[in-house]
Amino acid sequence: MKRILSTMRRAVQDYKMIEAGDKIAVGVSGGKDSLTLLAALAAYRRFSEVPFEVIGITINMGFSGVDYSPVAEFCKEINVEYIEKKTDIAEILFDVRKEKNPCSLCSRMRRGAVNDLAKENGCNKVALGHNNEDAIETFFLSLFYEGRLNCFSPVSYLSRRDLKVIRPLIYVPEGDIKGFARRTNLPIVKNPCPMDGVSKRQEMKDFINEKNSNDKHFKARMMNAIQTGLEDWKIL
């Protein structure tokens, strides 16, 4: 956890992600990234120079057999309020609309639900668990499939909801998160989506890992390209 906290703190300070009085909702999918972020922010608030609150929120998409009670118990252990909201997103995507490529629409629906739930509970910021590799994958997805240089921002402002979205783990390598999840036995909830592991993002993950296996500096150079080439990523 010390290594993750150190790396996360650097991102928080570089992009001024957390301010005094913030109430931050962590979008908890049940995966290793979001649970690690929740644990890291819960620990960080103890020694942060500015006071802030953290809650965990989960959008239950409505897949049968998914149990988030271990996540709720984990939140009790780290003294974080936890809210789960059940939705019919899965039914809409797969039964009603019968989407063959549902990932983009699913992402928009889940983001909207997370933001709404955050505002309903008095939060002014939403924290998402995107790690370092997620940023590089998004960069290449935009390049290969949209023909433009783009990536999500470390901090973005949603004017319609008066809500900021922050991504404190953008410097943290996925390997560090995997190691932390394994050592601490995080209560990971398996992703029930039938598209898990077969998306374009998985193709990018495989591509980047192959490149990095042949050139250990590949990911670092790509991250430098993002930070120097994209306006939203330039350190303040």
Cα distances (angstroms) measured from residue 41 to each of 34, 66, 144, 191, 215: 11, 25, 34, 23, 33
Non-local (6+) Cβ contacts of 25 within 8 A are 55, 56, 57, 114, 117, 118, 121, 123, 125, 126, 127
Task: Label each residue of 47-73 as H, E or C.
Answer: HCCCCCEEEEEEEECCCCCCCCHHHHH
* pLDDT tens over the chain, length 236 residues: 899 999 999 999 999 999 999 999 999 999 999 999 999 999 999 999 999 999 999 999 878 888 999 999 999 999 999 999 998 888 888 777 766 677 778 888 889 999 999 999 999 999 999 999 999 999 999 999 999 999 999 999 999 899 999 999 999 999 999 999 999 999 999 877 766 655 788 889 999 999 999 999 999 999 999 999 999 999 86
- What is the rounded distance in angstroms from the CA atom of residue 158 to the CA atom of residue 134? 21
Tokens 């309903």 — which residue? 120
- Measured in degrees and rounded to the nearest 5, phi and psi for residue 127 equal -105, 130
Domains of the chain are 2-233 (3.40.50.620)
Cα distances (angstroms) measured from residue 11 to each of 18, 33, 115, 120, 140: 10, 16, 22, 27, 21
Question: What's the pLDDT score for residue 201?
Answer: 84
Element (DSSP H or E) covering residue 155: strand 155-158
